[in-house]
Structure 1
Amino acid sequence: ALAAARRSFVPRGAGTGLSGGALAEGDAVVVGLNRLNRILSIDAENRLAVVEPGTVNSHLTRAANAYGLHYAPDPSSQTACTIGGNVAENAGGPHCLKYGVTLNHVAALTVILPEGDMVTLGNADGEDDGYDLLGAFIGSEGCFGIAADVTVKLTRNPEAIVTLLADFTTVESAARAVSAIIASGIVPAALEMMDNATIRAVEASIYAAGYPADAAAVLLAEVDGLLAGLEVDVRLIERLCAEAGARTVRIAREEGERMRLWQGRKKAFGAMGRIAPDLIVQDAVVPRTKLPEVLAKIGEIGRRNRIMICNVFHAGDGNLHPNIAYDARHAGVEERAHEAMREIMTVCISAGGTITGEHGIGLDKLDYMPLIFTPHTLDAMCQIRHVFDPMRRSNPDKVVPIHSCREWYAAAGARA
Structure 2
Amino acid sequence: MSEQLPEVEVDAVPLALAEFREAIGADAVLDDPLALRSYECDGLTGYRVVPSLVLLPRTTREVAAAVRICARHRIPFVARGAGTGLSGGALPTEDGVVISLQRLRAVREVDPVNRRAVVEPGVTNLDITRAAAPHGLYFAPDPSSQQVCTIGGNVAENSGGAHCLKYGFTVHHVQAIEVVLPDGAITTLGGDSADQPGYDLLGAFIGSEGTLGIATAITVRLLARPAAVRTVVADFPTTGQAGDTVTAIIAAGIVPAAVEMMDTLAIEAVEIAVAAGYTRGVAAALIVELDGPADDVDAQFTRVRELCRAHGAAKLRVAESPEERAAIWKGRKAAFAAVGRISSDYFVQDGVVPRTRITEALTRIGELADEAGLRVANVFHAGDGNLHPLVLYSEAAGEHDRAEHLASSIAELCVDLGGSLSGEHGIGADKVCSMPRQFTADDLAAMSALRSAFDPEGICNPGKLLPTPRLCGEKPGVYKPHPLEAAGLLERL
Tell me the TM-score normalized by structure 2. 0.81
Instruction: Specify the alignment match of 2:110 in structure 1.
Output: 42
Are 2:245 and 1:177 equivalent residues in the alignment?
Answer: yes
Letter in 1 for 2:322: E
Aligned mate of 2:139, from 71, 74, 84: 71
Native 8 Å contact 2:141 2:160 kept in 1: yes
Instruction: Specify the alignment match of 2:195 in structure 1.
Output: 127
Distance 2:154 2:431 in 1: 18
Superimposed CA distance per residue, residues 54-85 of structure 1 (whole angstroms, 9 cap, x where no aligned partner): 11111111111111000100000101110010
Distance 2:75 2:312 in 1: 59
1:145-160, aligned counterparts within 5 Å?
145-160=213-228
Native 8 Å contact 2:81 2:122 kept in 1: yes
Are 2:171 and 1:103 equivalent residues in the alignment?
Answer: yes
Distance 1:17 1:383 in 2: 26
Are 2:363 and 1:292 equivalent residues in the alignment?
Answer: no
Instruction: Specify the alignment match of 1:393 in structure 2.
Output: 459
Superimposed CA distance per residue, residues 256-310 of structure 1 (whole angstroms, 9 cap, x where no aligned partner): 1000000110001111111121111111000111111110111112222221110
Aligned mate of 1:117, from 176, 182, 185: 185
Distance 1:67 1:292 in 2: 42
Aligned mate of 1:167, from 221, 235, 248: 235
Letter in 1 for 2:333: K
Native 8 Å contact 2:408 2:431 kept in 1: no
Instruction: Specify the alignment match of 2:295 in structure 1.
Output: 228
Instruction: Specify the alignment match of 2:76 in structure 1.
Output: 8
Aligned mate of 1:281, from 344, 348, 354: 348
Superimposed CA distance per residue, residues 304-357 of structure 1 (whole angstroms, 9 cap, x where no aligned partner): 2221110000000000000012211113x2232123213212322221111100
Aligned mate of 2:125, from 33, 36, 57: 57
Secondary structure in 1 matching 2:266: helix
Gaps of 5+ in 1: 411-416
Instruction: Specify the alignment match of 2:315 in structure 1.
Output: 248
Task: Quote the offset at 1:203 in angstroms.
Answer: 1.3
Distance 2:109 2:328 in 1: 33
Letter in 2 for 1:37: R
Secondary structure in 1 matching 2:302: helix
Are 2:395 and 1:328 equivalent residues in the alignment?
Answer: yes
Letter in 2 for 1:20: G
Are 2:97 and 1:29 equivalent residues in the alignment?
Answer: yes
Alignment coverage as a number of residue pairs: 406
Where do 4+ consecutive residues of structure 1 move more than 3 Å?
Answer: none
Task: Quote the offset at 1:50 in angstroms.
Answer: 0.3
Instruction: Specify the alignment match of 2:19 in structure 1.
Output: none
Deviates more, 1:393-402 or 1:354-363: 393-402
Task: Quote the offset at 1:177 in angstroms.
Answer: 0.2
Distance 1:300 1:176 in 2: 20
Task: Quote the offset at 1:3 in angstroms.
Answer: 2.3
Are 2:445 and 1:370 equivalent residues in the alignment?
Answer: no
Task: Quote the offset at 1:136 in angstroms.
Answer: 0.4
Task: Quote the offset at 1:409 in angstroms.
Answer: 5.5
Letter in 2 for 1:159: A
Distance 1:357 1:308 in 2: 22
Gaps of 5+ in 2: 1-68, 479-493
Superimposed CA distance per residue, residues 107-161 of structure 1 (whole angstroms, 9 cap, x where no aligned partner): 0011110011111110122231111000000000000001110000011111111
Task: Quote the offset at 1:6 in angstroms.
Answer: 2.6
Distance 1:6 1:173 in 2: 55
Task: Quote the offset at 1:179 in angstroms.
Answer: 0.2
- Note the aligned Cα RMSD (angstroms): 1.5
* Percent identity of paired positions between Structure 1 and Structure 2: 50
Are 2:350 and 1:271 equivalent residues in the alignment?
Answer: no
Instruction: Specify the alignment match of 2:424 in structure 1.
Output: 358
Letter in 2 for 1:47: R
Aligned mate of 1:18, from 86, 103, 106: 86
Superimposed CA distance per residue, residues 369-415 of structure 1 (whole angstroms, 9 cap, x where no aligned partner): 011110011000000001111111110121011359xxx958xxxxx
Letter in 2 for 1:342: S
Letter in 1 for 2:379: V
Secondary structure in 2 matching 1:166: strand
